[in-house]
Chain A
């Protein structure tokens, strides 16, 4: 069984074989993501009870927290792909790493943006230089640096290897963000959900938040697969199979 699986890994790590697989998977991830997002948003706006302390404004949590989680998770996955790409020179892993970055930057931005909207009614200000906010902002800078470095180097192989190294170096920041609320006792509230403790929130709220997280996760996979398919076509354009594919597509259109 294990042997069979490892063969499958090798098989699909070739861009040529991964391209059609990704194409088949994308609609499924889109569908799951949209269904969960509709359910999650309905639960968060109509089913979840009003918070006894923060009133209705707390409802931004259902976007804010999943986006913040995704921003860190995507960086971690990106760095993981970067390590695989550098260590074993897997082209697909390099492409996956670079495909993840724009979505990661987007979720970081959403986390900061919704955080500002949440901050105004609860703290009375859009922005404070609090440890968690600042470290999340650094994460955004890291994503932007990664994307800029990649687009500044013309040779795609060199670009992805250089930016992969940057991604690995930047991983240092993740524990800082994650533990910042514990290490510095600042304005940002502590984590409401933790794997080791019972959640400090109503079950219905937690369920809605987890549904939104999975919805965001599925969205990320769908978008990243679409982006990686485009990168594959771009980088493998000299190969026979891409040429055949493109001529087939052109033939169908006529």
Chain B
């Protein structure tokens, strides 16, 4: 019997999860609408003044993205855990962390990328100008995969735990904070005309570190959960 290569297994995992997500488009759209609604609450709740909104826009959009990507974490492993396919994945000859990376990539394509694509519209609504919007998109593009990667550890740890949905926010949000600080920091710096490449480099460094380390932690957590 021919052994499936690592890359083929990884690609099959991504394709499988994308297919599953496309079969349930409502889940994807819920996250997206959640993102839009949370951002829209701020003009209503804080102030409709564009000067105020422009000031808080990067933070508001980033926090909303954080909450939205956390909301979709439940989907990452829960279905596979319930129908037993997770146990099959644990038994595969390919290293689990590579498969996890595939699942997280699919999750990010479905829940992170739409947020990035939608952010210019929301940025415009909150009065950001062209350069700031481009930078906001760039920070989200670098930051949202980190959110998915860190979130996968939390999602794996809380599999089958009572109150898992609330617990995951407690575990994951503290670890999201550095991403939030540097993501909004870059846009804020750009708005006030200062250099922002430092923050972007740090976001990139977070991404590299997260790609290297979180799949290992997630697969260890999955093995603990599936015991």
Contact = CB atoms under 8 A, between A and B. Distances in A.
- Classify chain B's interface size: 20 to 34
B23 interface: no
Interface in A124-152: 134, 138, 141-142, 144-145, 148-149, 152
A169 B153 CA distance: 9
A172 interface: yes
B224 interface: yes
B171 to A, nearest CB: 5
B157 A141 contact: no
Nearest to B227: A158
B203 to A, nearest CB: 15
B45 interface: no
A169 B162 CA distance: 22
Interface stretch (B33-41, B137-145, B173-181): B173-181
Contact of B221 (A134, A138, A165, A173): A165
A75 B220 CA distance: 21
Interface in B121-171: 153, 157-158, 161-164, 167, 170-171
A229 B175 CA distance: 32
Contacts of A153: 161
A interface, by DSSP: helix, strand, loop or mixed?
helix
Nearest to B173: A141
A162 B170 CA distance: 14
Contact of A152 (B153, B161, B177, B225): B161
Contacts of A169: 153, 175, 214, 217
A145 B177 contact: no
A171 to B, nearest CB: 11
A162 B167 contact: no
B170 A165 contact: no
* Most chain B beta-carbon contacts within 10 A, residue among A142, A162, A170: A162
B220 A165 contact: yes
B174 A165 contact: no
A176 B202 CA distance: 13
A165 B224 contact: yes
B77 to A, nearest CB: 14
Contacts, number: 56
A141 B161 contact: no
Interface residues of A, number: 22
B221 A152 contact: no
A166 interface: yes
A173 B176 CA distance: 11
A176 B178 CA distance: 9
A42 B220 CA distance: 49
A221 interface: no
Nearest to B221: A165
Contacts of A172: 175
A241 to B, nearest CB: 27
Nearest to A160: B224
B174 A142 contact: yes
A219 B105 CA distance: 47
Given A144-B170, A152-B167, A162 B217 contact: no
A210 interface: no
Contacts of B161: 149, 152-153
A10 B60 CA distance: 54
Nearest to B163: A152
23 contacts: A138-B177, A141-B170, A141-B173, A141-B174, A142-B174, A148-B170, A149-B161, A149-B167, A149-B170, A149-B171, A152-B158, A153-B161, A158-B225, A161-B224, A162-B221, A162-B225, A165-B221, A166-B171, A168-B217, A170-B174, A170-B175, A172-B175, A173-B175
Given A152-B167, A162-B221, 16 more contacts: A86-B220, A134-B177, A138-B174, A138-B177, A145-B170, A145-B174, A148-B170, A161-B224, A162-B224, A162-B225, A165-B217, A165-B220, A169-B153, A169-B217, A170-B174, A173-B174
The 9 closest A-B pairs by CB, nearest first: A141-B174, A145-B171, A145-B170, A138-B174, A161-B224, A152-B161, A162-B157, A162-B224, A142-B174
Interface of B: 153, 157-158, 161-164, 167, 170-171, 173-175, 177-178, 214, 217, 220-221, 224-225, 227
